[in-house]
A and B are shown apart, each in its own frame.
Chain A
């Protein structure tokens, strides 16, 4: 069974700092990886979906990279803002069909003004 790990569990940075969130997975035979943001008490918002054939995907100040062979993905946030404070989760599908997903437990980010 796929295991997804996110370290650290919590991160606190001053506003304006660039930061990297990590996601690792045990089974490298994945077809894509998705990064989400979750605000307290709310649902998950999709940030980026990176296909296995891609190495990077960018959206605004966010950049996600994927290294299947090493079982790792990173989410880079440039010039962090207090509004970026949230929990960030990564997820990978189980198998080819993508009909089931495995989630990490997330990294709780606090950006201090």
Chain B
């Protein structure tokens, strides 16, 4: 099916590591990208492709892939990383898909 599944929420202690996942059958064929959205702001791309980080995104953000699951890992989470993270991919028909988003709370 053409759906991307994310856990709704996760919490992480300041300075610790958090892993967010995105699961879907289409991810066996297509890459996922990750987008960070803070309240009242437009989303920002934080990861794309195999493990490509846009200019300006800290290297504490990393990506990985296994089977039908993509993961975004934040190592040494900072307070400013608190946000909702969305994965995005595509299906075989060329349509783009978003996951439901994961709210990351930094404790």
Co-complex (A, B): no
Chain B residues within 8 Å of A, Cβ to Cβ = none
